[in-house]
Amino acid sequence: MLAVNLVEKDPEPRLLLDGRLVLKQRRRIEDIASWMEAFAIFSLILVSSFPHRWKDLIQYQLLILRTYCHFSGRVWLAYDQSFREHAAATRPTDCSSMNVQLFNFHAAGSSVRSSSLTTSNESPESPGSSSSTILCKSWNKGRCTAPFSFCRYSHRCSVCSGAHQSS
């Protein structure tokens, strides 16, 4: 859906020996800017037929952007590809909810981007849940990696349950 892929320079399709049609190689989406462009085009097309879908598409876009800003590497791209494959199989009517299993699978072991990407109105680390009995492992290792503004796990020491990180 990228504009660069819409321009066909070779109007004649190529054929393999067994008669199958070979399509021209499309530009791969490997950076956030090209993903945003392709997703905007996809959203415009989908919303023209299903106007009620605009909100969940914007929420999904924000999830991908937040994931991009929070994690280094291509966690955002791996999650997006897995989410779309899963969505093709399950045909959800709303893509605004995070698939926690897929997200955790792709985010596990990934490093967090430096705090230079956080804006002045964002706290560099999410607060932990005071009601959770499960301790936040990443917080105890040095920094909470919760993808949103609030961590669902408790920020207490994994050794003594004190209000500090384990040493």
> Which residue has better confidence, 43 or 152?
43
- Shortest CA distance to 62 belongs to which of 28, 19, 32? 32
Residue 9 belongs to a domain: yes
Region for 133 from its dihedrals, namely left if φ exceeds 0, alpha if ψ lies in -120 to 50, beta otherwise = alpha
Q: Tell me: do 17 and 99 sit in the same domain.
A: yes
Question: 110-114, 116-120, 140-144 — which one is most confidently predicted on average?
Answer: 140-144
> What confidence tier does 9 reach under pLDDT thresholds 50, 70, 90?
low
Q: Tell me: do 66 and 136 sit in the same domain.
A: no
Average pLDDT over residues 60-77: 90
Average pLDDT over residues 41-47: 92
Average pLDDT over residues 140-146: 83
Q: What is the DSSP string of 42-74?
A: HHHHHHHH-GGGHHHHHHHHHHHHHHHHHBSSS
Residue 116 belongs to a domain: no
Which three-class secondary structure state does DSSP give residue 92?
Answer: coil
* pLDDT higher than threshold 70 for residue 161: yes
Q: What's the mean pLDDT when you consider all of the chain?
A: 79
Domain that holds residue 164: 125-167
- Shortest CA distance to 70 belongs to which of 28, 119, 27, 113? 113
The secondary structure of residue 4, as a DSSP letter, is H
> In this predicted structure, what is the pLDDT of residue 56?
92
Kindly state the helix (H) or strand (E) to which residue 139 belongs, with its residue range.
Answer: helix 137-141
* pLDDT higher than threshold 90 for residue 47: yes
Average pLDDT over residues 76-90: 92
Question: pTM of the full predicted structure?
Answer: 0.56
Question: Up-side HSE of residue 9: CA atoms within 13 Å toward CB?
Answer: 5
pLDDT digit string, tens, across residues 144-153: 887 666 788 8
Q: Tell me: do 134 and 92 sit in the same domain.
A: no
Beta bridge partners, 109, equal none
Residue 118 belongs to a domain: no
Q: How many domains would you assign to the chain?
A: 2
Q: Which range among 42-51, 60-69, 74-83, 138-147 shows the weakest confidence by mean pLDDT?
A: 138-147
Residue 48 belongs to a domain: yes
Percent of the chain with pLDDT over 90: 28
